Chains A and B, each alone.
Chain A
Amino acid sequence: MKVLMFGWEFAPVYSGGLGVACAGLVKAMVAQGADVTFVLPRVPDGITVPGVKLISADRRQNKLLKFKTEPLTAYASSESYELWKKRNPQAAALYGNTLFAEVQRYAEAAKELAAKIPHDVIHSHDWMTYQAGINAKAVSGKPLVVHVHATEFDRTGGNSINQHVYGIEKLGFENADAVVPVSNFTKEKVVANYGIDPEKIMAVHNAVEFTEPVEQPKLGKTDKVVLFLGRITLQKGPDWFLYAAKKVLEKEPRAKFIMAGSGDMEPKIIEKAAELGLAGKMLFTGFLTGKDIDRAYKMADVYVMPSVSEPFGITPLEAMRNGTPVIISKQSGVSEVVKHCLKVDFWDVHAMANKILGVLYYKELQDELGLQGRNEVANITWDKPAHEVLNLYGTLMKKRRR
């Protein structure tokens, strides 16, 4: 089974869940015998992944200078791309004039790659690569699968969606032989907001790569720590975390809150925290990577994911792997998968605060959630989703032959 896959990022170099999910899925597919060529806008220097052919859509890669910041993250908006260009004029010369121009250039490259690289099926991850998938399909005539890690409605919370992005997403769904959202929560959005036939949509839940977390005792501390870890952006519900923190502190002034991550709402959230009188109680760490992420989970007594709209949400699984109890928004794909956690509507601040306090007060609850959560997450591996995707390919190829 030869797969030509288009994606915008791939762990270990990534800006968010997309790169982690792509890498997890592809590695498990390769382990099950698939032959995957993964096309990135650019392959960062020195990055190789055993068994996976990572190739660059940008033939000028060798000429590329090293830049401190990378404009083409999966979460770049058109606005942030403009800003980056202004700050990096030398680099900008090599990129398209807009993010959309870059997406377009990537899509053009896909035609050439589809002609050159033998494949049985084409698979695109999120809107940036949908046009590339459509182009590849036009060249080779092979079935196209589009994966939906997030829709424009999730990214914007449904307010002021970008019509251009929406258009590309819709085109991708319509031209795909199968649409694979990361949850039924997202499937419903694809049906409701894009008018796609549910018959050709199959949800495949994400998973976590199994790595035994470094055993380290919980830090010796007297404060109780409540953690938010994710991009500080509307979709992730950081404001709801603040409101819940305020309620918790009314009851339990000894609680401490950590907000780990960065994002467009960061200045606003910091300001809001001060306004709510949370100064000294709400700590901001900035964007964390690698070991620091596991350390944050370990340090926390409870991890909260208050997302407004989360197509899947891998971070709760990472927290559970570290034995940390989690409270997750019901408006998430991951809540379809895990049982050993507390679930809450993101807007129900009162319930969220109650559950946070429950975990802080009752040690047995914290222990049981930690223990059962760890056991549960050990069984949520990429083998199952990889198997489901490969089966889907098989079905599509059979249909094609008929």
Chain B
Amino acid sequence: MKTDNTAKGRTKRIRMNGYLTAGLIITGFFVLLGIIGMFWTPYSTTAMSASEKFAAPSLAHLMGTDNFGRDILSRVMKGLGTTVMVGVLVVLVSGTAGLVIGALTGYFGGIVDEVIMRINDALNSFPSILMALVVVSILGTGSRNVIIALSIVFIPSFVRVVRSEYMRCRNADYITNARLMGVSRIRIMFVHILPNIMSTFLVAVTVGFNNAILAESGLSYLGIGVQPPDASLGKMLSDAQGYLFKAPWYAVFPGLTIVLFVLGFSLIGEGIQRNNRR
């Protein structure tokens, strides 16, 4: 049989590229650090020591100590654990909700779509950090409430991405074909369409994860997020503010951790996107 091989092969294998590799290494390092931090830290995160106040970075304290003489590395590790947990849970909850709502509105369209999208627009018209502030002030502070607040706030952005992808796919010939076969609507939505929008959705997830981390840090910085004595990167930054010149490492290391962590995730997102474009 004669075949022409002009059609470009599209394999399912995930292709690595520079962005993806660098992103995975950076993120992997910090996630590992955070997970270790949940079970073990070099020093106790709450043990204070008056004699070691504001100790500069040294072999004993790699990142130095803070205003109570606590080891900053240990607290960064602990804080990372909190941050990763908040990020993962927020993305899990809002991503799933966004996927389901977006799939329904995008696939069915019509009046349901109109109503949900207008609610979505209303939610979107407030800055997300402000919305989170409102929710937290109603529910109270603490990491559980931060997760609930951020999950609600992040749903609209997921809905928007998923909806537009479903609208793109729902008129494709292969979906019409599936309808003609008598495949149920739910199965079309989540078995036939979902894998085709997965790469776009993953990019949205990386962006959402980043935003969740930054928002959590922001809320903790404002003092309404994670409460002491729990460590959080945002809270550490806000505490370090007063000692910026006296002990710059206090602000630098938690700040650097947030920046690198977010950078790593952005690189992963960029890497996925570049793979899609090819």
On whether the two chains bind one another, the answer is no
Instruction: Give residues in A with beta carbon < 8 Å to B.
Output: none
Instruction: Give residues in B with beta carbon < 8 Å to A.
Output: none
